[in-house]
Amino acid sequence: MHPKELLLRCYAENKNDQWQAFCIDINIAAQGETFEEVHGKLISMVNGYIYDATVGEHREYADQLLNRKAPLGFRTKYLWYKALFVIGRLRSDTWKLFQEAMPLAPVCSINDADSQIQTAHV
């Protein structure tokens, strides 16, 4: 991660053949049929959110928007999944943890931000 990047903690879970992904650092969620689909949706939503908070129409509220944590239950679940991962009990077909390094420097457009993403899987 570079100093001008924001490292976001995320997780995804599969319930009843539906994947749900959550970014616990800025309280954004997405839903899809596969992990790849929900991961892509979440990243796209996060890109748009960060773009809007840093250079878009809501940039005057950037401090509040970039510090909007998910409710305690979601953050606790992330920590539980992380503990399961560390002890080797996290089943990859049901849960996935991942971190996203997002650029904080303004980008020309949301599509440009999508192309700059670096994914670091935990």
Q: Give the tens place of pLDDT for each residue, 56-111.
A: 999 899 999 989 999 999 999 999 999 998 998 877 788 899 988 887 655 544 45
Residue 108: how many other CB atoms lie within 10 Å: 9
Question: What is the C-alpha to C-alpha distance for residues 33 and 36, in angstroms, rounded to an integer?
Answer: 9
**H helical segments located in 1-122:** 35-54, 62-65, 72-86, 110-115
Residue range of the domain that includes 46 = 5-121
The total of structural domains in the chain comes to 1
Selection from 89, 98, 90, 106 nearest residue 47 by Cα: 106
pTM assigned to the model: 0.78
